[in-house]
Amino acid sequence: MTGPLTRKPTLAVVGATGAVGAVMLQILSQRADVWGEIRLLASPRSAGRKLAVRGAEVEVTALTEDAFDGVDVAMFDVPDEVAAEWAPIAVARGAVVVDNSAAFRLDPEVPLVVPEVNPHAARIRPRGIIANPNCTTLTMIVALGALHAEFGLRELVVSSYQAVSGAGRAGVDTLRAQLSLVADTELGTSPGDVRRAVGENTGPFPEPVALNVVPWAGSLREDGWSSEEMKVRDESRKILGLPKLPVAVTCVRVPVVTTHSLTVHARFQGEVTVDGAREILATAPGVVLYDDPAAGEFPTPADVVGTDPTWVGRVRRALDDPTALELFVCGDNLRKGAALNTAQIAELVVAERSGH
Amino acid sequence: MTGPLTRKPTLAVVGATGAVGAVMLQILSQRADVWGEIRLLASPRSAGRKLAVRGAEVEVTALTEDAFDGVDVAMFDVPDEVAAEWAPIAVARGAVVVDNSAAFRLDPEVPLVVPEVNPHAARIRPRGIIANPNCTTLTMIVALGALHAEFGLRELVVSSYQAVSGAGRAGVDTLRAQLSLVADTELGTSPGDVRRAVGENTGPFPEPVALNVVPWAGSLREDGWSSEEMKVRDESRKILGLPKLPVAVTCVRVPVVTTHSLTVHARFQGEVTVDGAREILATAPGVVLYDDPAAGEFPTPADVVGTDPTWVGRVRRALDDPTALELFVCGDNLRKGAALNTAQIAELVVAERSGH
């Protein structure tokens, strides 16, 4: 996309058959119809499948260099190494790439964009690539961006309750298979009984996830940190423009299908009030404040799944620190955590070319 | 118990038929046999049931004043209001009470005891009552007590992943019933689908707990805090002897049967090292260090359930604060979190009377 368009732009969805791809097709059918042609690309073994988008069947074609000819924007949801190889090819063929892998997120020449927080960053993209943040970062960053704009963020301590679909279709299949094995049993009461029932069927997880929580996501980084924890720290700093923000994270997988939850202890530059925080959260775009424990109101994954916003509840000021807030946030990891934010970024690119 | 005993002491277990009571009977059968007679007391509707303890059947008798005659130590695991009424009665009849309700925990004339952390506090009990901490506090306090003794604790930020048995048998029954309804389905992917499948069957929880996490435990306190969160803060301060320790807690229920997990961000007086922390945790009584992510080793509830110690993994120094450690801890909430710690306190009382 090198100038104003006289036609509706062509979109390529790369990785259309994955868990995020499926949600992307739903989202493209629901949002304002800014796209002309939509091409669905995937690995050769998925080529020929037909998927519904905007009410029509579209045939999936294999990912090739030529497939990007005439494409204005290409959304990628593929493994890191596939994105690293193919995103520059798409750019060379004239597309702006919006990539949901980790391949480019920390590249200083690639903006990392959350439209509610740093939309203007999308305009400066020396490599023709815009990166979409990790789903765990996206669960909290819209709400934190709004609070930061008012109060000035000084420190974060975060714990995650991550859904299995963060590990893709294999994660969901694994949980469902394990639940079939443990439901209608007395398991979960003696050491290793769940592990024995589940056997080798742990799928992408290092331990059983049914009737369990697993304090690990991603691969091992230095000093005992997981890649997922490092992503939350590094990406939050980049999106918020706070390269030295102290961020401590522990990522834990829980037996939830879709929607990540996070507890957040956020310390700010000065004193904060709960009323002030609630007012910001209640009016921030993309955020729903759902916080009335007396009425039984706080977000849970079972209610948030399938919705677009970040839901925030349990807003409290730390009892021993007037500069800190406690939050419980939920967000659909396949929608805002992945497909929706990618679609929003792609729409920013279209709007920019339209002169908006 | 007012002097040295020439016979083995008599123990009363009040609330013998509950979830914690059942585990208490197992524990009494497993530990060194310091007790003479063991009486099992419960509400009149449970009287006449026979339960196994130390290999013999013992008939449950109704809770009456006379039932405490001749009792040296009475362990209570009953609702707060029952404990508030009956513990003083047991004391008046000559028993030392070890109470696992919240009724007396913050009473300045009642010590709150964790034998690995503050055993000597058990000796000063003006009311004849010793309180056992809440299960969530107990999940972390043995490990934190050991670290505090070396490094000097300055702040805690804690998030919980609490098992349903913390809400008693009703909690376990509710999760199992809900799992039967959601296993072998495609639930968990659209807003409210789990809630509709579960219907009114949420038992002691405000929301469905299968395929979900629920950021609420206990009752509503001031400023949006839950009673469970306040317990963790207030009890940790009392046990550690740090009445002004800043403690921020968010308590979340997860679909695990038994064993609470916590993420802990602990800040200390000065710089800490991971090696130093690991050495302390590896040698602390009641703690198992299980922390080798490269080998897939970190504690999870499925492996910890049914065991006595506090398991600690994911030990990391905060990347941006050399005075802070991150931990993931697991402990069986019915054993160390309730029955075991109660039994250990009762044994302290016996040892004291024996002149140990």
| Residues A293-334: tens digit of each pLDDT | 999 999 999 999 999 999 999 999 999 999 999 999 999 999
pLDDT above 70 covers a percentage of chain A that reads: 98
| Residues B88-118: tens digit of each pLDDT | 999 999 999 999 999 999 999 999 999 999 9
Residue of chain B whose alpha carbon sits nearest to that of A312 = B215
Give the model's pLDDT for residue B188: 94
Q: Supply the mean pLDDT for chain A.
A: 95
Mean pLDDT throughout A156-166? 97
CA distances from B306 to B10, B203, B254, B336 (A): 27, 24, 18, 10
Q: Supply the mean pLDDT for chain B.
A: 96
Q: Is B238 on the interface with A (CB under 8 A)?
A: no
Angle of the A274-283 helix axis to the A135-151 helix axis, nearest 10: 120
pLDDT band at A354, cuts 50/70/90? confident
Mean pLDDT throughout B44-58? 94
Q: Is A149 on the interface with B (CB under 8 A)?
A: no
Q: Is B308 on the interface with A (CB under 8 A)?
A: no
Tell me: is residue A335 an annotated ligand-binding position. Answer: no
| Residues A45-104: tens digit of each pLDDT | 999 999 999 999 999 999 999 999 999 999 999 999 999 999 999 999 999 999 999 999
pLDDT above 90 covers a percentage of chain B that reads: 94
pLDDT band at B200, cuts 50/70/90? confident
A222–chain B nearest CA distance, Å: 10
Which residues pair with residue A325 across a beta bridge?
A: A266, A317
Give the model's pLDDT for residue B1: 54
Q: Is A243 on the interface with B (CB under 8 A)?
A: no
Tell me: is residue B344 an annotated ligand-binding position. Answer: no
| Residues A92-137: tens digit of each pLDDT | 999 999 999 999 999 999 999 999 999 999 999 999 999 999 999 9
Give the model's pLDDT for residue B353: 81
- B16 pLDDT higher than 90: yes
- B4 pLDDT higher than 80: no
Tell me: is residue B137 an annotated ligand-binding position. Answer: no
- A4 pLDDT higher than 70: no
Residue of chain B whose alpha carbon sits nearest to that of A184 = B180
Q: What is the C-alpha to C-alpha distance for residues A99 and B153, in angstroms, rounded to an integer? A: 43
Mean pLDDT throughout A276-283? 98
A312: which chain B residues are within 8 Å (Cβ-Cβ)? none
Q: Which of B189, B242, B274 to mutate to test the interface with A (most CBs of A within 10 A)?
A: B189
Give the model's pLDDT for residue A356: 60
The pair of three-digit structure tokens given for residue B205, joined into one six-digit string:
């929880």
A256–chain B nearest CA distance, Å: 4
Residue, of A143 and B4, whose pLDDT is higher:
A143
Residue, of A355 and B291, whose pLDDT is higher:
B291
CB contact under 8 A, A191 and B315: no
Q: Is B324 on the interface with A (CB under 8 A)?
A: yes
- A5 pLDDT higher than 70: no
pLDDT band at B354, cuts 50/70/90? confident
pTM of the shown model: 0.96
- A216 pLDDT higher than 90: yes
CB contact under 8 A, B192 and A255: no
CB contact under 8 A, A302 and B258: no
CB contact under 8 A, B257 and A301: no
Tell me: is residue B333 an annotated ligand-binding position. Answer: yes
B134: CB partners within 8 A, 6+ apart: B102, B105, B228, B231, B232, B235
Q: Is B207 on the interface with A (CB under 8 A)?
A: yes
Q: Which residues of B are marked as active site?
A: 135, 260
Q: Which 3 state secondary structure label does DSSP give B300? A: coil
What residues of chain A, 24 to 83, have a C-beta less than 8 Å from chain B? none
Q: Is A124 on the interface with B (CB under 8 A)?
A: no
A300: which chain B residues are within 8 Å (Cβ-Cβ)? 207-208, 212-215
Residue of chain B whose alpha carbon sits nearest to that of A208 = B302
Residue type, B331: G
Nearest CB to A180 within list B157, B184, B299: B184
Give this complex's ipTM. Answer: 0.95
Mean pLDDT throughout A18-43? 93
CB contact under 8 A, A189 and B303: no
B353–chain A nearest CA distance, Å: 35
Give the model's pLDDT for residue A201: 87
Give the model's pLDDT for residue A3: 60
A190: which chain B residues are within 8 Å (Cβ-Cβ)? 305-306
Q: Is A277 on the interface with B (CB under 8 A)?
A: no
pLDDT band at B5, cuts 50/70/90? low
CB contact under 8 A, A318 and B252: no
